[in-house]
Structure 1
Amino acid sequence: MGLCVLCVGVYAEVERQKNRTLEGLFLAPAVVLILLGLVMFTVSVVGMVGSLRDNKTLLHMFLCVLCVLLLLQAIGLTLALIFENKTSALFQSSIREGIKHYYDDLDFKNILDYMQEKFSCCGGDEYKDWGVNQYHFCNGTGPLACGVPYTCCVRKKVIANTHTHTHTHTHAHKIS
């Protein structure tokens, strides 16, 4: 699995370099996938080789690395909960900065589009967050001024009319 994640990350990074998206290196999803894939692959290989060769040193190293990763996750979760307001503010400022550069950053654009469609939301807090984007700024003159991206639109499911008519003659009128 780690090798698959690593390969996907490398492929995404190659594509990102072709298109030159995302200015912040560590914000790039491709870089995150590469780092995650490297860690997963390395830890898994150490555990596998240690198990196959009955090497206690490698097995102890495998155990220690897993314990450290678990501890880091627990610390990260605890800090996020303790500093919930700062975490939320950092998240909101990151979203607003991403919205500001929405059309310049293909990776973030795809992530934000997916999130807005998946959770039927628009922007960080509300649709007015899109006012920071140069194309959606209300005083702008472009076709997107005072608007939002298509992924903000809530698409309701069409419900068929199940009401039955008792009339014997019905006429259909077409609106031109």
Structure 2
Amino acid sequence: MAVEGGMKCVKFLVFFFNFIFWVCGVALIAIGIYVQVALGKALVVSGGSSAGTPVAILVLGVIIFFISFFGCCGAWKESYCMVTTFAVLLSIIFLVEIAAAIAGYVFKDKVRSVLKEGLQEAMNKYEEDPTLTEALDELQRKFKCCGANNYTDWANIKQFQANDTVPRSCCRINTTTCNVHPSPETVYEEGCQESIEAWMKKNILIVAAVALGIAFFEILGIIFACCLMRGIRSGYEVM
């Protein structure tokens, strides 16, 4: 009777942690959308590989979202196969998350260089590529920045070099001459690379906290799923 009660407790714990996984999936989907909205133009400027980051977060959120329902069904039906599949899929996701975290730490300097190269390329193609032009203008307005390192970077771009001007998206004030003979008083002095990096550092703690929370609940979910598998396989009745 004690064993039966214990397994019943495990069964409800699996339900509880699947609800937590469902919340985690929704959280990842929300983070993916937030990153896409907040850094959409920056990702376009940085290149195709970076633009896939929010999509990857969204996909992971959707996968966790559906796996949580799969786990609930397995626990409710007391299906050894479904609970085993749930535990295996959750373990794979956990390992992928660990690998992604390690890769992110190892290649953190690469992200900076990719961002810098992307900004420089967008500046070189300004007014030639409409997509990059629009993305860079919106980026400069959103982050209140100008150029890659600072506003003087535009002096090296051919179409702005001769007239000593910068794009109007660099302007602090809304006048027709603010971008002529730019100065810190008329245009944003800070570079976009520094502004974007500051935004990322500010928000990385939130992402890290969510990731750690998800990893913690995944480990507990795997443990309880394995306990339920053992109970079902041993032939105990789980009510």
Confirm or deny that 1:147 pairs with 2:174.
no
Match of 1:38 in 2: 59
Q: CA deviation at 1:88?
A: 3.2
Q: CA separation in 2, counterparts of 1:35 and 1:74?
A: 13
Q: How far apart, CA to CA, are the structure 1 residues paired with 2:92 and 2:126?
A: 38
Residue number in structure 2 paired with 1:122: 146
Amino acid at match of 1:148: V
* 1:61 corresponds to: 88
The total of aligned residue pairs comes to 130
Structure 2 stretches lacking a partner, 5+ long = 1-25, 37-43, 76-81, 175-239
Aligned residues with identical type, % of pairs: 19
Residues 4-26 of structure 1, C-alpha deviations (whole Å, 9 max, x = no match) = x79xx9xxxxxxxxxxxx7x982
- Specify which structure has the higher proportion of helix: 2
Gaps of 5+ in 1: 10-21, 140-144, 157-176
CA distance in 1, matches of 2:157, 2:166: 10
Q: In structure 2, do the counterparts of structure 1 residues 27 and 102 end up closer, same or farther at CA, with 3 Å as the change threshold?
A: farther
1:75 paired residue number: 102
CA change 1:74–1:34 in 2 (3 A) is: closer
Give 1:39 deviation, angstroms. Answer: 3.6
Q: How far apart, CA to CA, are the structure 1 residues paired with 2:167 and 2:149?
A: 15
Match of 2:48 in 1: 26
The answer to whether the Cα contact below 8 Å between 1:99 and 1:132 also exists between their aligned partners in 2 is no
1:126: how far off? Answer: 1.1
Residues 32-53 of structure 1: CA distance to partner in whole angstroms, max 9, x if unpaired? 5555433432332223222233
> Deviation of residue 66 (structure 1)?
3.2
Q: RMSD of aligned C-alpha atoms?
A: 3.7
Q: Measure the CA separation in 1 of the matches of 2:88 and 2:173.
A: 52
Question: Residue 47 in 1 paired to residue 68 in 2?
Answer: yes
Deviations 1:88-132 (A, max 9, x none): 3332222101222233142x4444334322332111101122245
TM-score w.r.t. the length of structure 2 is 0.42
- 8 Å Cα contact 1:99/1:133 also seen in 2: yes
Aligned 8 A contact 2:47 2:118 in 1: no
Query: Normalising by structure 1, what TM-score?
Result: 0.54
Structure 1 residue 152, shift from structure 2 partner: 1.0
